[in-house]
Chain A
Amino acid sequence: MLLQHIRDVKDPEHPYSLEELKVITEDAIEVDDKRSYVRVTFTPTVEHCSMATVIGLCLRVKLMRSLPPRFKVDIRVAPGSHASEAAVNKQLNDKERVAAALENPNLVDMVDECLAPSYG
């Protein structure tokens, strides 16, 4: 069900959705409704993908908009799929840094671009 929400998110570099690019799959999503916990593990297309953080940010924003506030969202890069895995994970799950990123108008525009609903 959660996949419904994030499958349409577009890749910042391609006109394709993350699902089409196999960046996210059904198996990589873990939802625990009772404990209000969500974990999304995504696989960047290449190991040095510079956009991994942006993709993660898009996912986070999309989920913030789509899930009730009670949920804690944990977004990770799939183990072994990215060169600087630990750094990316840290960046994505740090509240302060996410908030700071969202203050950056250029980043926010980019995120919104990715989240724009695709018709068809």
Chain B
Amino acid sequence: MGESVQWIKHIELYVSSTATPSEQAASVDAVATLLKKGFFTLETLVKEMEMYLTTTDSIVRSRGNLLLAELLDKLASKPLSSSSIHSLVGFFTERLADWKALRGAIVGCLALLRRKVDVGNVTNSDAKAVAESFLQNLQVQSLGQHDRKLSFQLLECLLNHYPGAIGDLGDNLVYGICEAVDGEKDPECLLLVFQIVECLGQIYPDPSGPLANYAEDMFEILGSYFPIHFTHPKGEVDDSKREELSRALMLAFASTPLFEPFSIPLLLEKLSSSLPSAKVESFKYLSYCTAKYGPERMASHAEVLWSSVKEATYISPQCTLTKESELLGGMGFQDSEVMKQSFILLQEVIQQYGDFISLVLGDNDINVFINSLNQYKEMDDIPSLAKQRLHVVGHILSTCAKPSPALCNKVFNSFFPLLMESLGISVEKSFNGYLDEDCSPPAEFNFAAIYLCIELLAACRYVAVSLDSSTPALEFSHQTWSTMLSNSCKSLVKTFFSLLRSMEADQSASSGVYFGVKGLEILATFPESFLPASNSLYENILSEFVRTVTSGSTETFLWTLTLKALTEIGLFANKHPESAKAVIFEKIVVEKFVSLIPSGESAMPSSLKLKAAFEIGGTKKDFMLKVVHALSAAIYTNFSAAYDEGNHESGKVMIQLLDTYTEKVLPWFLKIGGFEEIPLNFALGIWEKIEHTKYLNLSVLEIAMGAGYQDLLGAIMSAIKKSVGSCSNESQEIIINKAFGVLSSSTGFGFESGSSLVKEEDVKQNLNPGDSSCKHEWLTSLFASVIIALRPQTSIPNGKMIIQLFIKSLLNGHVPSAHALGSLVNKLPLEIKGMNCSGNLTLNKALDMITPTFTGISHHDNVSQSNGSGIDFSSLRLNTLRMQSGINTAIGLAWIGKGLLMRGHEKVKDITMALLSLLMLDCEGGDSKELQIIDEEDMHQLRKTAADAFHIILSDSGECLSRAYHATIRPLYKQRFFSTIMPIFLSLVIKSDALLVSPTYTSRSMLYRAFAHVVSDTPVIAVLAESKKIVPILLDCLSVLSKDVANKEIIYNVLLVISGILVEKNGQEAAVENAPIIINLLIDLTTYQHMMAIRETAIQCLVAMTELPYTRIYPLRTKVLQATSKALDDPKRIVRQEAVRCRQSWASIASRTLRF
């Protein structure tokens, strides 16, 4: 009972006029929830509400009705009995007459009519009753906007859900609707009106039905809305709304052919409007209506349609040359929207109504125009308007020819002989062997005719291809166009050839080249069943193209275009791999280019050869496989030539080959997938080569190639890395075993098995000692590149030996070894499960091996601790040789630390501490006498390396430890490192401040250098969180670093961090406290001579400073203005402009006191 009181309260609240809308909504929800849960039935509710529903107080009555209606809306998914639905709908139907409480009635009807069958819906007869009551009682146009919208929704709902029931109403309904929609202006309601008309069209398709009687009246109402145009634009939303409305109106226009006698004249009339948007709309509607009304009705309008299309395109063309026009033979046009739509209409009409074409073909203007083309001998001679018309005519012809073979026949009949004639070619059966005769090519070409000819060829190729795919065995020979084309095909090819040859000397992008290549490409890509482009002709075209490509010495326009045409032909031919054309293509093109790869004799430079081979190979997998084989073979051959015989030419060629392999071919296969054996075989092949190359003539080659020697090594290394990286675990294991085998059979690695090395001992005697270490380093580099690219899951044999090898060579200053060690500690498993694990390495074992060598210092690394005993760096200081190894150690530590950090291993802390202690060396040992002995220069170098190590640790590297090389990367590792190292840095800085004595200067500056690296390599978000603590140090850092020109890059990075801080709210708070210092520093940097970007950023930072609180920055204003006036005279324009902006914003922060 308590509940019943409660919901009655809700009802009272809703009905009372004092409640706010939100309270009312809440009470509807509350009652609806109770009803849904079944606390009481709908019948009880109606009984309780009786008073509200029938009272004479119209306000209360309308609210009561609305409440019931809204409740029904909420209960749309609750099953109701048919009797209650019947009585409810009867009630609301009756209420439609009650204009004072109308809204509730409409909402209620709508809610009931929208119900689904499975929860009980309104019967047909009830729906009809609603419609009758609606037509009888409602004066829609006299209602308010919201009520109108609801009424239209009700109508639309009736038409959509109960078309059968209300269809009987006939004339009454149509008339009623006409009356209801007449004069509607609100866009939302209009959208519904258009949908209602569309529905009507579907309900009464009968040409003598009710709609037919009222079609004219109805269209009179509809037509006045075209074209949709808002007189009071209210913002951006209108544009999408306009589109939506316009589309709805278009559907309404096309909803029934009954509108045709009224709509088409209206649309045609609007075409003459001066508004481009109205034209576009009219064309759009016309195309759509043409498709819907059908050919019979449109036939009578054909002539007018053609003349309007012609008017919009041919008579007054509106198209502009595009930027790429030069590359498209000077005929690349961008059509205006009106033209685009009129071409669409043309296409639609021709498809619907084939006879239309006679109008186009018989058009006098177009024929005269085509005949007039003979006067232009050069593309550039053609005036702009004629060029546009040429483009339009080309487009019209190709639109006419495309839809069907019959239309194609007609177009060919009318124009092809004419065009051929102007090219000097006969369409009659020509004499045999015409092509082979050495008949002189025409001295001049009719470019306009060639252009049209190519458009026609493209159109009939389109027809041929679509025929070919639909009816495979179709005979083309009985088609007129086919006969004509096959008769003139040879001569056409010949014309194109001579066009190409006459332009060959021309380097620039000429239209002749474009048309020649394009025409040949089209002829070569006709389907095989189409006779004209016979195989011999096809061969001729291909050979000509191949000749053009292979005789090229630079990448000219002709060269690129021809290569592109060849790839297109290849792609087309490969659609039917069995066909004769595919075979010919392979024989002539692919074989030729593949054979070009190894030979050094052709006139083509090897970069072009490789590019061409790659492009052609890309047309088919099998072709690319051939290319890969040729490429690898060439690499192996050159490898021997370079390293065995010291041939530096081979070395240079090899760099290009390797680059093509790693940059193009390998990624191509990776994208296709499933070709794992290719990288595997390649890597194995290289190691095979290394194994069998007896005399590694490294020093000879190094002398011969000079700087190129390192490039070659780099190319080989990246090729190995890429190919190993794209292999699976198993393949990687094969490769690493092979590589290790090669390494261990070679001398000087300390793990040779001691047998079968006699020969190499002999070799070694012949070589100078330097060469053997050279070779050692070379092999280690290659081995390191294998290790770098391994997957974490790949097991590594003889891990200990490998690590020792790398440690040793690292200490000799070999950086790739450091990369390899970094990758190893990044990927080695923490522990190995399974039995057979004795040979395999775990991370801890590896670290146990590495740590003593590198962080011997780390046992005494605490900065607070003074020099300890053991292998500490006081002994290092004694000689420069050891100093060098200290530097190498620092590099090693950096990469190992990076590896550990990325996987999130805690040992990274030890490494950081070791690096820091290197950095701070003489802070601790300031008292040591040995300080005098060591070279200050070397000491500086060591500290600098240690500082730069932080850059290595935090930056992304392309060499190793990236995703491509399967590094273990923990998310947010940079942020984590930043937050752990920041406190350490802060304390170190404070400490070094305390020791402000002159010898500590360098170590302090190096500390700042390291700090700058850390801050600028960490994502700004992380830095911002700490900005309060960091800003003061950053400023010190800047002032210290700016003393040395060599630091400019670092300064720039720090400045970027500062600007990041300044624009962020959090950072601004930190900046406020230090505003004077920041501004002084920035002012100094505005005149930094060595780098423009620094000056520019400093001034931008100054602009950002004006966002700080007024009271803090106002005192600094004069100073900034004075300082930036110097920047106004900066040699770089960008800086001057920034300075103006800066002065403007600083001057206006206090406009009441301008002082200069």
Contact = CB atoms under 8 A, between A and B. Distances in A.
Interface of A: 1, 4-5, 61, 64-70, 102, 105, 108-109, 111-112, 115-117
B1144 A68 contact: no
30 contacts: A1-B1133, A5-B1140, A61-B1154, A64-B1156, A65-B1143, A65-B1144, A65-B1147, A66-B1128, A66-B1143, A67-B1128, A68-B1125, A68-B1126, A68-B1129, A69-B1125, A69-B1156, A70-B1129, A102-B1154, A105-B1152, A108-B1151, A108-B1152, A108-B1153, A108-B1154, A109-B1151, A109-B1152, A111-B1151, A112-B1148, A115-B1144, A115-B1148, A116-B1148, A117-B1141
Contacts of A117: 1141, 1144
A108 B1151 CA distance: 6
Interface in B1119-1156: 1125-1126, 1128-1129, 1133, 1137, 1140-1141, 1143-1144, 1147-1148, 1151-1154, 1156
Nearest to A104: B1152
A103 B540 CA distance: 87
Contacts of A68: 1125-1126, 1128-1129
A36 to B, nearest CB: 10
Interface of B: 1125-1126, 1128-1129, 1133, 1137, 1140-1141, 1143-1144, 1147-1148, 1151-1154, 1156
Given A65-B1140, A66-B1128, A68-B1128, 4 more contacts: A65-B1143, A68-B1125, A112-B1148, A117-B1141
A105 B1151 CA distance: 8
Contacts of A4: 1137
Contacts of B1133: 1
A34 to B, nearest CB: 13
A112 B1128 contact: no
Given A64-B1156, A66-B1143, A112 B1151 contact: yes
Contacts of A67: 1128
Contacts of B1151: 108-109, 111-112
The 5 closest A-B pairs by CB, nearest first: A112-B1151, A68-B1129, A68-B1128, A66-B1140, A65-B1143
Contacts of B1125: 68-69
A51 B177 CA distance: 62
A108 B1149 CA distance: 12
B1086 to A, nearest CB: 13
A51 B766 CA distance: 95
A105 B1153 CA distance: 8
A64 B1143 CA distance: 10
A27 B206 CA distance: 73
A6 B1133 CA distance: 16
A65 B1125 CA distance: 8
A116 B1141 CA distance: 11
Main secondary structure of the interface of A (DSSP, over half): helix
Residue of B1125, B1126, B1137, B1144 most packed against chain A (CB within 10 A): B1144
Contacts of B1152: 105, 108-109
Residue of A68, A70, A115, A116 most packed against chain B (CB within 10 A): A68
Contacts of B1156: 64, 69
B1119 to A, nearest CB: 15
A80 to B, nearest CB: 32
A1 B1133 CA distance: 10
A71 to B, nearest CB: 9
Nearest to B1139: A66
Nearest to A33: B1129
A51 to B, nearest CB: 18
Nearest to A5: B1140
Nearest to A64: B1156
A61 B1151 CA distance: 12
A117 B1148 CA distance: 11
B359 to A, nearest CB: 49
A59 B1152 CA distance: 18
A116 B1154 CA distance: 15
B111 to A, nearest CB: 48
A73 to B, nearest CB: 12
A115 B1145 CA distance: 10
A116 B1145 CA distance: 9
Nearest to B1147: A65
A61 B1141 CA distance: 14
A108 B1128 CA distance: 23
A97 to B, nearest CB: 15
A112 B1146 CA distance: 12
A69 B1139 CA distance: 13
Contacts of B1147: 65
B296 to A, nearest CB: 54
B357 to A, nearest CB: 50
B1145 to A, nearest CB: 8
B1071 to A, nearest CB: 23
A28 B1148 CA distance: 27
A115 B1149 CA distance: 13
B423 to A, nearest CB: 51
A96 B1153 CA distance: 16
A78 B22 CA distance: 66
A109 B1152 CA distance: 7
A80 B1143 CA distance: 34
Contacts of B1153: 108
A44 B1151 CA distance: 25
A108 B1129 CA distance: 26
Residue of A4, A65, A70, A112 most packed against chain B (CB within 10 A): A65
Nearest to B1140: A66
Nearest to B1137: A4
Nearest to B1144: A65
Contacts of B1129: 68, 70
Contacts of B1137: 4
Contacts of B1143: 65-66
Contacts of A70: 1129
A15 to B, nearest CB: 19
Contacts of A65: 1140, 1143-1144, 1147
A59 to B, nearest CB: 14
Contacts of A115: 1144, 1148
Contacts of B1128: 66-68
B251 to A, nearest CB: 38
A118 to B, nearest CB: 12
B773 to A, nearest CB: 61
A66 B1137 CA distance: 8
Contacts of A111: 1151
Contacts of B1141: 117
A65 B1142 CA distance: 9
B1103 to A, nearest CB: 11
Nearest to B1153: A108
A115 B1146 CA distance: 13
B1140 to A, nearest CB: 4
B376 to A, nearest CB: 40
A108 B1147 CA distance: 11
A1 B1148 CA distance: 23
Contacts of A105: 1152
Contacts of B1154: 61, 102, 108
A22 to B, nearest CB: 23
Nearest to B1145: A117
Nearest to A112: B1151
Nearest to A1: B1133
Nearest to B1156: A64
B2 to A, nearest CB: 63
B28 to A, nearest CB: 46
Nearest to A105: B1152
A109 B1128 CA distance: 24
Contacts of A64: 1156
A117 B1152 CA distance: 18
A105 B1150 CA distance: 11
A118 B1009 CA distance: 42
B1152 to A, nearest CB: 5
Contacts of A1: 1133
